[in-house]
Amino acid sequence: MLIFTLRRINLFIFTMLLLTLLSFSLSKLFPGDSLINLSGQINATAEQRDVLAEAYSHNDSIIHQYWAYLTHLFDGDLGLSMASHLPVSSEIMNLLPATVELSMVSLLIAMAIGIPVGFIAAVNHKKFTDNAILSIAMIGYSVPVFWLGLLAILVFSIQLGWLPSAGRISLVYEIKAVTGIQFIDILMSDNEYKWQAFQDATAHIIMPACVVAIAPMTIFIRLARTSMMEVLDTSYITAAKAKGLTFWQIIYRHAVRNALINVIRHVGLQFANLVTLAMVTEVIFSWPGIGRWLIESIFQRDYTAIQGGLIALSSFIFIVHIVTDFIYAGLNPLARDRKHGA
């Protein structure tokens, strides 16, 4: 387990190094002055520019410059946003929790529905249920998320009027951001309308979370199905059958657990996909997350924001990746001996 942990940490450090290298070279590759691209101070006077050049070791070799950039990064200084002139790091800290919340809820929905449905498909292998589930999953996977989002707004917000179409919570409720994860903030607040706010926040998250969840859900269906079929083919299942256990006993006691382990291995991979979808969805549902902000920054050619957002998002995805790796290793003793990162 120690070696496993060390390897993951090693992998983390090197990936982060590569990421920062990429982000640093972006500042050189973007048009304009690389110093301004790094610091975001577009209106700097000549004197301020000298101070900045000093701070970013801009007159030294490129290695020094990179090192200076890294020190700034470690100090949490991602420069100023060129559009809003606010520190990029504080903007990210304000926005990232909303994205984390949305993607976590979506992941939960995708897993909670996808995995059981996949198991049902595997159990009914080559029967009508299996085919039906697979076809629906295929359709679900093929539908573009932006179209689905608009359609959901049209049906559930405009025509049926069941769910709100925009934002995280109705502006009526005033929730102080402490952790940034809204549900926790609501529960922690001492607002007399706490319970109403909680309901409202739930109503707001259902639609975007479901829209984001659709595509990963279909993947979970297929993963769960394949993994369950593999497990059902193994000899210990045959042995269990020979012992005289009923079919459902076999499924519950043996097959599900073993199949789940394989699915969990892929959660990390799917998460990257999910966050990408969440970014598009945030724009459609006016979700105040980092994805919407990043897309706006791209339109506004806000280079500092693009670099900072890139680093924040990819490290978030990477951390989730590693966490799932650890969960997987915790659940599956066999995996702990594997030396290389997945």
Partner 1 sequence: MLHALINRYLLSITLLLLIQGCNNEDTNLLASKSIIYCSEGSPEGFNPQIITSGVTVDATANQLYNRLITFSGPENDIAPSIAKSWHVTKDGKRITFYLRKDVKFHTTEYFTPSRNLNADDVLFSFNRILDKQNEYHYISGGNYPFFQSVEFDSIVENIEKINDYTVRFTLKRADSSILANLATDFAVILSEEYAQHLSDLESQQQIDILPVGTGPYKLKEYRAGSFIRYIAHNDYWQTKPNLEQLIFDITPSNTGRLTKLLANECDVVAYPIAHNKIIERPDLTLDEVTSFNVGYLGFNTARPPFNNKLVRKAISLAINKEAILETIYFGKADKANTIIPPTSWAYDKTLPEQEYSVSKAVRLLNQAGYPDGFAMNIWAMPVQRSYNPDALTMAKLIQGDLQKIGVNVTITSNYEWSMFLKLVAEGEHQAVLLGWSADHPDPDNFLTPLLSCASALKGNSRTFWCNQQFDELIHNALETSDLTKRKAYYAQALRIIADEAPLVPIAHSKRYQARNSNIKGKLLNTFGGINFTEASKN
Residues that bind partner 1 (CB under 8 A): 112, 153, 157-158, 161, 163-167, 170-174, 193, 195-196, 198-200, 202, 252, 256-257, 260, 286
Tokens matching residue 156: 């559930």
In angstroms, the CA 201 to CA 216 distance is: 23
The answer to whether residues 260 and 119 touch, using CB atoms and an 8 Å cutoff, is no
87: β partners: 80
* Least gap, CB of 302 to partner 1 (angstroms): 15
Q: Which is nearer to partner 1, 14 or 147 (CB)?
A: 147
Residue by residue, DSSP assigns 302-318 as -HHHHHHHHHHHHHHHH
User: At closest approach, how far in Å is the CB of 27 from partner 1?
Assistant: 27
Instruction: Please say whether the dihedral angle defined by the alpha carbons of residues 142, 145, 149 and 151, taken in this order, is positive or negative.
Output: negative
Closest CB to partner 1 among residues 284, 306: 284
Measured from the CB atom, the residue of 145 and 153 that comes closer to partner 1 is: 153
Sign of the CA dihedral running 130, 132, 134, 136 = negative
Q: Is 294 exposed, middle or buried (0-12, 13-18, 19+ CB in 10 A)?
A: buried
Residue closer to partner 1, measured from CB, 83 or 229: 83
- Distance between CA atoms of residues 25 and 36, nearest Å: 13
Is 48 or 199 the residue whose CB approaches partner 1 more closely?
A: 199
User: Minimum Å distance from CB 55 to partner 1?
Assistant: 29
Nearer to partner 1, 48 or 286 (CB): 286
For residue 248, the minimal CB distance to partner 1 (Å) is 12
Neighbouring residues of 249: CB distance < 8 A, sequence distance ≥ 6: none
Q: Minimal distance in Å, beta carbon 38 to partner 1? A: 26
In angstroms, what is the minimal distance from the CB of 7 to partner 1?
A: 27
Nearest to 180 by CA among 76, 293, 99, 286: 99
For 169, the 3-state DSSP assignment is coil
Q: In the complex, what is the shortest distance from the CB of residue 236 to partner 1, in angstroms, rounded to a whole number?
A: 17
* Residue whose CB is less far from partner 1, 52 or 109: 109
How far apart are CB 197 and partner 1 at their closest, in Å?
Answer: 8
CA–CA distance, 187 with 301 (Å, rounded to integer): 38
Nearer to partner 1, 129 or 157 (CB): 157
Strand partners, 80: 87
